[in-house]
Amino acid sequence: MLKMKRVSETAALRAFTDDGLYFGDVEDAILVKNKVDSWKVRATRDSFLNKALAGAKGVIVPHQLVKAIGDVMIVSKAAAPSYSDEE
């Protein structure tokens, strides 16, 4: 059975990639014609985005790349910016 969520219930959800990496925190939904078009995801201290973006505050994830929304949001790894772990 499909469970519906209100957009207001998604604020501050933690977002993870489909590989299980902590991606960031959901900040807001971007609506176009009363439908969710994309999601603002904020880079937090321990998130993959914080390492990959090097100073940017977050990313906008198209709704098509969101796989599931429940207690957490699962996003496709295609939503992640390219990043190499060379330090």
Q: Tell me, yes or no, whether 68 lies in a domain.
A: yes
Residue 83 has pLDDT above 70, yes or no: no
Local confidence band at 87 (pLDDT 50, 70, 90 cut-offs): very low
Is 72 domain-assigned?
A: yes
Direct distance between the N- and C-terminal alpha carbons of the chain, in angstroms, rounded to an integer: 46
Number of domains in the chain: 1
Domain-embedded: residue 84: no
* Of 21, 24, 56, 19, nearest in space to 39 by CA: 24
Q: What digits encode the pLDDT tens for the residues 47-67? A: 888 888 877 888 999 999 999
| φ/ψ (deg, to 5) at 65 | -90, 0
Element holding 62 (H helix, E strand): strand 58-62
Domain assignment of residue 87, yes or no: no
Q: Which pLDDT score, from 0 to 100, does residue 40 have? A: 94
CA triplet 3, 6, 12: central angle to 5 degrees?
110
The range of the structural domain enclosing residue 47 comes to 7-79
CATH code, domain carrying 49? 2.30.30.240
Residue-averaged pLDDT of the chain = 85
**Is 2 among the domain residues?**
no
Indicate whether 85 belongs to any domain.
Answer: no
DSSP 53: H
